[in-house]
Amino acid sequence: MIDERDRRHLERCVELASDAVKAGNEPFGSVLVSGDGAVLFEAFNEVGGGDATRHPEFAIARWAAERLRPDERAAATVYTSGEHCPMCSAAHAWVGLGRIAYASSAAQLGEWQAELGAAPFPVRSLSINEIAPKVPVDGPDPALANRVRELHRQAQMAKSRA
Ligand SMILES: [Zn+2]
């Protein structure tokens, strides 16, 4: 279940995704929140520089592995504008992070990419729990997912103009 507090963090993720697009990246943003509700770290997609692994959820997993104890990681929640890809789901599980809440799902992204005529991804689209079955997952949020869809439309338009 996504509650009001979750929604606030997810709104921040959508803002970060918008910032990512403005900086020439893909529309994804994520926030790491501690077990007691403190925002620890924020990241957005940075693939525009040419490294396609620069996903915010991967950056969060590395940040958490370097700075948090295992019990702190397990108690933390990762909020993200779009459901983790398989690479990021694996990184999340390998470092022992806790719950994930997402604004839009991998299945939705696949539909949007098809609608927008975007190039297919080189990695199969799988849900977080197909990769990391023990991670508690909540999402999508219909209203926020619509905003994420609009960001993908903008990003695709920017690409086709380039
Ligand atoms: Zn990813």
Q: Which residue has the tokens 């809440």?
A: 101
What gap in Å lies between CA 58 and CA 81, rounded to an integer? Answer: 14
What gap in Å lies between CA 101 and CA 116, rounded to an integer? Answer: 25
Ligand 1 center–CA 47 separation, angstroms? 11
Which pair of structure tokens corresponds to residue 29?
């943003």
- Summarize the confidence of residues 100-125 as an average pLDDT: 94
- What mean pLDDT, rounded, does the chain reach? 96
Ligand 1 center–CA 31 separation, angstroms? 14
Ligand 1 center–CA 64 separation, angstroms? 16
- Whole-number pLDDT of residue 159: 83
- Whole-number pLDDT of residue 161: 81
Neighbours of ion ligand 1 (CB under 5 A): 55, 85, 87-88
- Whole-number pLDDT of residue 120: 86
- Summarize the confidence of residues 67-78 as an average pLDDT: 98
